[in-house]
Amino acid sequence: MTHFELSPLNQDLHDALVHKIKLKTKPQGALGQLEAIALQVGCIQQTLTPTLINPAMLVFAGDHGIAQSGVSPYPQAVTAQMVLNFLAGGAAINVFCRQVGMQLLVIDAGVNHTFANEMGLIPAKMGLGTANFLHAPAMRMDVCHAAITKGADIAKKQLSRGSNVLGIGEMGIGNTSSASCLMSVLTSVPIAQCVGRGTGLDDVGLANKTLILSQAIAYHKLNADDPYLVLATFGGFEIAMMVGAMLAAAEQKAVLMIDGFIATAAILVASKIQPMILEYCIFAHRSDERPHQALLDYLRVKPLLDIGLRLGEGTGVALAYPLVQGAVNFLNEMASFESAGISKRVDA
């Protein structure tokens, strides 16, 4: 079992960073959330001149046994097909990562397909998809811990190559069902309020998905005291690896960018293991998946974008990354009132 040692965000430079931000040639607060991000990144990196180096997007892919119960309008085979699309460079996340200069890493956490040594795929398969948690835990506890450890190792390896910004994304038919159950059990929000349309369910499909997930939660009768048990019961291999990658990134004081509903469910689990992880996170966007706003509210975090995204893959992170760049760049490059010879407010 991997143990993570997270420290609270160091506040030694907090006041100096606030002072530097206040002296920029703008009204106080005029750059909105960018000012909060500049302050956060400066505190994470413990410098008045933070830098973003070799940003990387980790996309974890895995299949879910619950998909066999009709919770998605797409067949499970789509997971493997999309992984091949990632490797061929043709998915949305490929387009957006290329656009902003993020390295894309695709990890097979547990896809129900045997890949033939495809170039660029990181093999980390924990199994050919999880068990159907309608009838049994999604995975054994030892496998869950092994997946967390593997995700942590992958993140650490990327950070050792010089990256100090990691985005976390995913692919897996059925993983909104997993995320909904994780959210419901860990937040005590009724499952009906934690279920969305996923890959595009109609009203009948949404009602059926809600019923199935209600039955699954009733079957296992878990409480939220043990996040590892909840993750092993309802999670996916890719979600468990995301939890490990997130915890390792925060442990090594990287800037951690969180995508949509699935990634936020993973950070929910991680925060139950180590609450301080949230101090290292920038939340990219509010997903159009219905329960995401409630989950963001529960975590008391504010996302950067709200543009109707619900694709996953890490796409929200890639699209939001230029805003984080903007926050760091204004802190480092924007003139101060003194250097520009501009008069400050008379009451400043």
* Catalytic residue set: 313
Q: Which of 19, 168, 199, 20 is nearest to 93 (CA)?
A: 168
Structure tokens at 347: 């009451």
Q: Which two tokens stand for residue 53?
A: 């180096």
Q: Tell me how many degrees the CA angle 235-240-246 measures, rounded to the nearest 5.
A: 135
Extract the tokens encoding 202: 């109609």
Q: Report the DSSP beta bridge partners of residue 167.
A: 57, 257
Q: How far is CA 6 from CA 3, 30, 35, 37, in A?
A: 10, 33, 24, 20
CA 50/CA 96 separation, integer angstroms: 24
CA 347 and chain centroid, separation: 42
